[in-house]
Amino acid sequence: MNNARAVSSSNEEKDQEAKKVVTFVTGNAKKLEEVKSILKLASTDEEEEEEDNKGGKKMMMKINLISRSIDLPELQGDPIDIAKEKCLLASREIEGPTLVEDTSLCFNALKGLPGPYVKWFLEKTGLDGLNNMLLAYEDKTAYAQCVFAYCEGGEKSAEEVEVFVGRTNGRIVKARGKTEFGWDAVFEPDEQRDVDEKKTYGEMEKEEKNAISHRFRALEKLREAKFR
């Protein structure tokens, strides 16, 4: 019995060693948890069915995702350019496969603001402040956008940074639900399944949010391109 456990443990360690180690630049444990959860959800129905027919486990990611907090400069500009530059800067410290994220909340009435600066607006004004930005406008529509930038690291990182963009349309509402995850409580996505009343991200269960979120859509593209 003990021998069997030892063999199983040894196999698991070998599987971990065989996986590519990718460093996700974040100091936010909840964000890392969400990204890991989404990557496991990102296999297609056809792939899951094929694995089930073989009597095997559903396909898991072929990477070992770890996190590292790196103090990067606060950049300004287009979200894609910001993500690319952050990835390049971080890869110089990591010296290996590097993943960074830049998230935006864009109000259509304000031509895309606050955009990538939503974190600072939220810190200064709170959730009520985000709502107040649209008081003078009938248009409360918005979109949440996530940009992941990835590079393998090394001397040619600048030429090899790739970006993957996910977007979810919705509207800005009074805060409802959990408020500890950024602006989730004020964003009500348009696409919702089997619900009588629409929910904000903050009111959704983790699995429910992860199936439609901007982060999921960006990570699904990343997975298809890099981690199959």
CA pair distance 11, 33, nearest whole angstrom: 24
Tell me if 216 is assigned to a ligand binding site: no
Residue 108 and residue 20: Cα distance in Å, rounded?
39
98 is annotated as contributing to ligand binding: no
Instruction: Tell me: is residue 30 an annotated ligand-binding position.
Output: yes
Query: Annotated binding residue at 198?
Result: no
Element containing residue 98 per DSSP (H, E) = strand 98-107
23 carries a ligand binding annotation:
no
Residue 214 annotated in ligand binding: yes
Is-contact 37 81, C-beta < 8 A?
no
- Are 178 and 185 a contacting pair, CB within 8 Å? yes
Establish whether 179 is an annotated binding residue.
no
Q: Is 215 annotated as a binding residue?
A: yes
d(CA 13, CA 32): 21
Question: Is 3 annotated for ligand binding?
Answer: no
Residue 83 near residue 165, CB atoms below 8 Å: no
Beta strand pairing call for 20-25 and 63-68: parallel
4 is in an annotated binding site: no
Ligand-binding site membership of 11 (annotated): no
Inter-CA distances, 98 with 25, 42, 58, 157, 184, Å: 7, 20, 26, 10, 26
205 is in an annotated binding site: no
Q: Amino acid identity of 21?
A: V
Does 52 carry a binding-site annotation?
no
Residue 19 in marked binding region: no
Distance CA 36, CA 39 (A): 5
Per the annotation, does 27 bind a ligand?
yes
CA distance 125 to 180: 15
Q: Which amino acids are annotated as binding site, given as ranges?
A: 26-31, 74, 86, 102-103, 181-184, 209, 214-215
Q: Which amino acids are annotated as binding site for ITP, given as ranges?
A: 26-31, 86, 102-103, 181-184, 209, 214-215
Q: Which amino acids are annotated as binding site for Mg(2+), given as ranges?
A: 74, 102
